[in-house]
Amino acid sequence: MLPYSSQGQGETTLVLMHYLGGSHRTWFPALPYLDRHYHCVALDTPGFGDAAELKGYDVASMVRQVDETIRSLGLKKVILAGHSMTGKVALALAAQRPDYLEKLVLVAPSPPGPQPMSEQDRQTQASYQGTRKEAETFVDGSCSAPLPEQVREVAIADAQSASLAAWHAWPLSGSREEWRDRIGRIDLPALLVLGSEDGNVPGVDAQQEMMQTHLPQGTLTVIAGAGHLMPMQTPQELAARILAFAAS
């Protein structure tokens, strides 16, 4: 079972997954707004956070381990949230139509097909060695405005503690995996949240195309001024969008 944090209460559980280089701590700034209304479980995926020693970095392995964790926890009603890298994982899991899954939230998600990325950017990610300077560059470059210093330090520590094998596997393999045919059409309510200043993932036009193909019940919303790390940079605004969607 994957490591996780758990807080709040309620019949419905928000299962929260993190971006490449993050952990369950990614969601800490947003949790005070979310756990007033829902049980919240934030996961560490293989190679990151407290799961740094766990293997299984391909999308199918991550899907299997997330599913096993949700079932081991006995969760019956789940709203699954994937952020960036784990947006692809969330889509792949939703395609299996698990009986516990009620809604889907995708925060700046990686696409279900190969992620558009310059070869230079891909090689930069693949050459990451976990130094303080590299972690600072990665975190700061993923935000449109400086994070609060204490939050920034958490993000930097997560980036430095990640398994290098897991980190390198994403740009070299996971981000290139083709899942469009396997995902198909997912008839679940879905919310896509994008940051207007996020240059890390495909923008509004590409995400709308994904919704038309895979998520016919999808709704797209954009947080003005936000970068890629919305759970840490704009936690209250992101939580408000998620809560409104969950209650709808």
- Given a contact cutoff of 8 angstroms between Cβ atoms, the answer to whether 116 and 201 are in contact is no
Q: How many CB atoms lie within 10 A of CB 74?
A: 8
Half-sphere exposure of 87 (CA within 13 A, CB side): 27
- Using CA atoms in the order 170, 226, 214, 93, what is the torsion angle rounded to 10 degrees? 50
Spell out the per-residue pLDDT of the chain, length 248, in tens.
Answer: 999 999 999 999 999 999 999 999 999 999 999 999 999 999 999 999 999 999 999 999 999 999 999 999 999 999 999 999 999 999 999 999 999 999 999 999 999 999 888 888 888 889 999 999 999 999 999 999 999 999 999 999 999 999 999 999 999 999 999 999 999 999 999 999 999 999 888 778 888 888 889 999 999 999 999 999 999 999 999 999 999 999 98
Tokens of 141: 């470059």
